[in-house]
Every structure is written in C-alpha cells, then in structure tokens.
Chain A
C-alpha cells in the first residue's frame, strides 16, 4: 500500500504539471482546453522523434547515465520538445482560437475547437507512429532501489519528482518576479482592467499558451520515461487533469499542484481494489463527487 502511495505521488506529479497548465489556460482564456491531454502526447512523441531521428543521425551517444534509463539524447530532447509543443500551442491559438476570439464566439465554441484540435493532433501521431505502445529505450527496466519499509522505486522516478519540483519552482518565480508573470496574473484576475492598464493581452495569451504547452510536453515525456508512449495517453489523462484542476479550484495553480498529487495517489491506490484500466473512471467518480459537494474546489478558485 505504501508503495502504491509512492507510485501515486510520481504519477500525481506528472498530472500536476498538466493540470497547472490547464488551470493557467482556463484562468486567463476562460475556456476548457480539451486538447491539453493531446499536447502531452505531442510532447512525448516529439521527444521520441528527436531521439530516434536526428540525434541518432548526428551520432549523439546513446549511452545512459548510471542508474537512469536515458542519456544525453533525452537531456537535449527534453527542453527542445518543450519549446516545440509551446510553439505548437501558440500556433493552434493563432490558427484557430484567436480567430474565434476576435469574432466573439462563446467559450463553448472555443472548447469545441480545442476538441477538434485534440483529434487532429492524435490522428497526426497515429498516422506517423501507428497505434502500438512505444518506449524511449527498449530493453530491461533499470533495477529499482530499495527504500526503507520495503518500498521499491526506480531512480528514474526519483528524478521525475525532482524535475517536476524544479519546473514548478521556476513557474512560481516567473509568475511572482517577472513583468510578464505579473501581467499574466493581472489578466487572470480581470482581463478588462488589465487591458485598460496597458497590458498587451495578446502577448499575455501567447505566453500562457507557451507555458501551458511546455509544461504539458514535459509531463508527456516524463510519463513516457516512467511508463510508455501511446497515442491515447493524453486522452486518458484528460479526466485526471480536469479532476485535479477542479479539485484545486480552477485557475488556482497551487491548488492544481496539490490536486494533481491527490489524483495520482487516489488513482494508483485504487488499483489495489479495481482493475488498473479503471483509473480514468476513478478520476471521473471523484470529480462528480466533488462537483456535488464542493464545486469551487478544495482551496477555492475563481468564483464562477
């Protein structure tokens, strides 16, 4: 059981990265980005492409670092994929959402458009890589470390937790210290007021998509390292992502962080009683209960 909780925290940290991005986009743009899960998928596969394609061709060493299951190729691919998916989500905004926004379309039409985008991304992945599960590295898993109380954990998983922590701290510093971060928070509070104060809303929106996409990409790659890559992985994450951001209060980033961890632990612990394939259903049930009891989330979000 303790082991399941530890694995749940690892899964939860990945969910948190996605949920923070989702909550950020919701807070500023006011619509449910149904493509967020598939941005995770896109990130995972862009990294796979870089590792197996150009990097192999360039002759970058395939050797792994000590106890970890990846090497230099992944270290270079990770930030590049984050940038690529940040670019992809900005591109989607320019091609689709911006046009709808300018025409004054309702939030539901924007969400519909995002749903369409999510299918387009997934079909793209399916056309290029097919429907099978893939791994960054074939071969045996690295031996697990034995922690006290008989908990086995792979070195990769410890590193995942560290990477998530670093990314969250960087985001925190960005939002608190930089001018753009402050502009983003102001826009999330009140877009009209921010506009009147001279904040360039379109730039804020661009940064929002960039950060949301980058974090989603990181989450997708980390899941790929921990488990596997699959074209449906992002779609399966969609329910936990929404459950986590609703749990934390929509628009509340620190809430989304905690919400993600809770969802990870609950989903993982549920496998002790239910088939693992029921994980998305567990997320759904929690979300419904939450909507019944406390729709504003545990920590309160924007009052909507």
Chain B
C-alpha cells in the first residue's frame, strides 16, 4: 500500500475509533462510575444519528421529494445537530429512567434492550419519519468547503478529536467533584449512600441522562462521518456489544482506559478483516460473523481473566486526599 493510502486508512481508522471512544466515555459514566447496566447503547446511537440528520438536512426537493420522506428537515448547522442529538437522547433516557432506576439493575438492562429494539423497529417501519429501511443520505459535513474532498477526513478527525477531548475533560471534572464521588458511592454501596442522605434515584438519573447525551453526540458524529445512515447499522452488535467490550477491555471506571480500550478493540476488529482474507472460499461471505465470534470470545476471556481491564480503575479521584 503506498504511503498516502496507508495514511488515509489510518485517518479513517482513527475517526471511527475516536467516535467509539465517545460512546465508551458515555457508557463509562453510566456503568464505570455509577454501575448502571445499559445494554441498549444502540438505541441512543440510532436516535443521536437520526436526530442530527433530520436537523441538518435540507428538505428534499424535485424528484427526490417523491422518494425521500422525512418528518422534518431543518437545514441547520452541524453544532445544532450535535446539540439536538444530545438533548433528545437525554429526554429519552429520562423517560426510560423513571420506571427502571428505582428497581434492580437487571430491569434497567432489559428496558434498555427494549428501547434499542423499539427505536430500530420504528425507524425501519415508519416511512414518513426518516425514509424507513432505505434511511437518509447526503448528510452535510461541517467545514467541507475548505479543503479538497479527498483531504476532508483530516478535518473530520480534528472535529472528532476536539469533541472527544472536550467530553473527556468534562467527565473528568464532573467525576472528581463531590457529585462524582456520590456516583461512585452509589455504585459501591447504595444503602449506606442513601443513609448519608443522598437521593439515590436523582443521582442515578443524572448519570444516566448525562451518559445518554454523550452517546447521542457519538451517534451524530458517526452520522456525519458516514454521510448515509439506515436502521440496519444500529444492531445490538455494532451499536452495543462492541462498546461494552471496549469499556471492559480498557478498564471500567477509568476514562483514559476506556479510550484506550476503544482504540485497541477497534484495531482488533478492523485487523480481523485482514485475517478473513485467508478463509476458504465457502466461508468468505460469513467472515463478519467469524469476526464477531472473536470479539465475543474476547469479552469472555476479559471477564474471567482480567476483569479490571488493561488499566483498571483509578483509585484516587480527589486532589484533596493522598
């Protein structure tokens, strides 16, 4: 592969890994720090992507309008799309949290699977909402005018990294505040935290909504990178499972760890693509399943042999204590 091609490949690799790192940070707030068992990340991923698409696209015109149906098209700039994605995901998370956050953690898990499946079914079946199974295409890319299209990915990498760094410092700040210590106290021992006079439900809700908003931003970043989105992307495999593996691999409760996990697992995932070139011809079409099988086995190995992940949790999170 010529050097230019390799560099372009690495850039698009870094963009996708960076987007997955955003999801991993979102999950880390919920699971790593608060112990909330969300296995419906794909739902927030999907909502974030679609909301940002609907906000930034311009209404279809001409013959296009006959084939493309969407509930609304606001033609607003990219940052508004990101913000809208975060806000809508936050609202959905709030609504899901009301019945489930007071119950045991497994109920939240089942409810989040439910919301992810339901969201995907709605986008798949409701033509009027966002063009049904064919999805939306032609999403605008921010700052796309300033460089040649073939160099655009460098610009987008800068955007993703900026978002990632901003979210990272936001979470680090929050988690080192008294607020963050309450979350960790809830994760470790709910009863004694409640006895210290903390409103468990309210803190859990804040963490759940915060994490979901970060996931919504991740979804929007994804949508504007791939330009086209359709419901089949947001399956439990690509949308939820792989992100869990990233967080478990990197070390839940450690923001640097989960970013590292996102890059490592994404490298394994994309790297396994090259391995499948050696498969016998009859198995070629089933290569993606073999790659997912590897990721699944990897998760089980991590859970059993290295439950704290690569980096493990940072024990000291306050600069006030030694």
Tell me the A residues contacting B by CB distance below 8 Å: 31-32, 34, 95-96, 99-100, 103, 105, 107-109, 111-113, 115-117, 119-120, 123-124, 126-127, 130, 235, 238-239, 242, 246, 275, 277-278, 280-281, 283-285, 287-288, 291-292, 295, 304
Contact = CB atoms under 8 A, between A and B. Distances in A.
Contacts of B299: 112-113, 116
Interface residues of B, number: 43
B241 interface: yes
Given A120-B297, A280-B117, A284-B118, A127 B303 contact: no
Those 9 A-B pairs whose CB atoms lie nearest each other, nearest first: A284-B114, A123-B293, A32-B106, A126-B289, A120-B296, A281-B118, A116-B299, A119-B296, A291-B99
A295 B103 contact: yes
A120 to B, nearest CB: 4
Contacts of A103: 307
Given A111-B37, A115-B39, A288-B111, A123 B289 contact: yes
A119 B236 CA distance: 10
B293 A120 contact: yes
B244 interface: yes
B190 to A, nearest CB: 12
Contacts of A115: 39, 241, 244
B121 interface: yes
Interface string B86-112: 000000000000111001111101110
21 contacts: A34-B109, A96-B304, A100-B303, A100-B304, A105-B307, A108-B35, A108-B37, A111-B37, A115-B39, A115-B241, A116-B299, A120-B297, A123-B289, A123-B293, A127-B289, A239-B114, A277-B121, A280-B114, A280-B117, A284-B118, A287-B111
Given A34-B109, A246-B107, A284-B111, 9 more contacts: A113-B300, A120-B293, A123-B296, A126-B289, A239-B110, A277-B121, A280-B114, A283-B114, A295-B107
B203 interface: no
B125 interface: yes
Nearest to A115: B39
Contacts, number: 119
Contact of A119 (B37, B125, B241, B283): B241
Contact of A284 (B106, B117, B248, B307): B117
B244 A291 contact: no
B304 A99 contact: yes
Contacts of B292: 119, 123
A40 B283 CA distance: 25
A130 B286 contact: yes
Nearest to A288: B99
Given A112-B248, A242-B110, A120 B300 contact: yes
A18 to B, nearest CB: 14
A130 B289 CA distance: 9
Nearest to A290: B99
Nearest to A103: B307
Contacts of A111: 37, 106, 109
A164 B289 CA distance: 33
Given A109-B303, A119-B237, A123-B293, A278 B111 contact: no
Interface string B256-283: 0000000000000000000000000001
Nearest to A281: B118
